[in-house]
Amino acid sequence: MIRSEGLSSFYRGYSISLFTIPIFNTMYFPIYEIVKSRLKKEMGWKEKQVRLYSLSAGISGAACNIITNPLWVVRTRMQSEILKNPSEDHFKRKYNHGPLSVAKNLNDIFRNEGFKALYKGLSATMVGIIHPIIFFPAYENLKILLKNKYEPQNDGKLSNSLIAASTIIAKVSASLISYPHEVLRSRLQFNQRLNISLISLIRQMIKNEGFLSLYSGFTANIFRIIPNYAIIFIIYENLCDL
């Protein structure tokens, strides 16, 4: 990539990521806590119950994915455009990077392909809700387990190292199970002419490329999400303790 496209190729889609990821997380955590609080109040569910964490995570994930899906479509297109046309001039003409880049790129997709194009890959994204449904119960219970084992003397507060450990273990475990949805989502979002059901795409990939094609890019993804989520959850937990 460095030799043929330059160092900047590693940062394709970075501008949209700076916009999308904070929006997603800013919505996700408050919705998760609100839903969890309501379930505890209305249903009488208690902490440590898997159903409490799973349903809260599933509802918040569904809401945030529906709202932000158009932004993920733009990011996928920006990161993958090189596969269609290797010209840097072509990329700069097609994807604006100015202050209004997000609005312009969304408008271009809407104008050229229609409203439905902004929700390409949503079916795969919704399947991906299995990720937070696995992650949050694992994370919440790991926090309790690690605190009781290593820091029983601390009143309610977990050290940053144990927050990071809980996050990493839960994230890697959830990713092993749910990762294929990211590959499927990217395939659906990238190809403008691909109109195929999720099940048909899965069958086609397994038949033509083998089962492991569903885990394409998994290693790179793990190296991305481990520091990312460790930092996010350390900040989140410390803010909750203020």
The span from the CA of 42 to the CA of 48, in Å, is: 17
- Domain around 10: 2-240
Number of domains in the chain: 1
Six-digit token pair at 54?
């799973």
- Check residue 35 and give its pLDDT: 95
Block residue for tokens 């926090």: 143
- Check residue 100 and give its pLDDT: 64
Q: What is the CATH number of the domain that holds 186?
A: 1.50.40.10
Per-residue pLDDT tens for 86-139?
Answer: 777 777 777 766 556 778 888 888 998 899 999 999 999 999 899 999 999 999
- The DSSP line for 176-191 is HHHTHHHHHHHHHHH-
Continuous segment of H or E residues that includes residue 41: helix 14-42
pLDDT higher at 217 or 195: 217
CA atoms within 13 A on the CB side of 178: 19
Whether this prediction's pTM lies above 0.75 is answered by yes
- Check residue 96 and give its pLDDT: 62
pLDDT bracket for residue 190 (50, 70, 90): confident
- Check residue 99 and give its pLDDT: 53
The span from the CA of 148 to the CA of 166, in Å, is: 13
Six-digit token pair at 185?
């989502």
Mean pLDDT of 220-237: 90
The span from the CA of 203 to the CA of 109, in Å, is: 28
Other Cβ atoms closer than 10 A to 130: 17
Q: What is the mean pLDDT of the chain?
A: 87
The span from the CA of 163 to the CA of 241, in Å, is: 13
Cβ-count burial of 197 within 10 angstroms (0-12 exposed, 13-18 middle, 19+ buried)? Answer: exposed
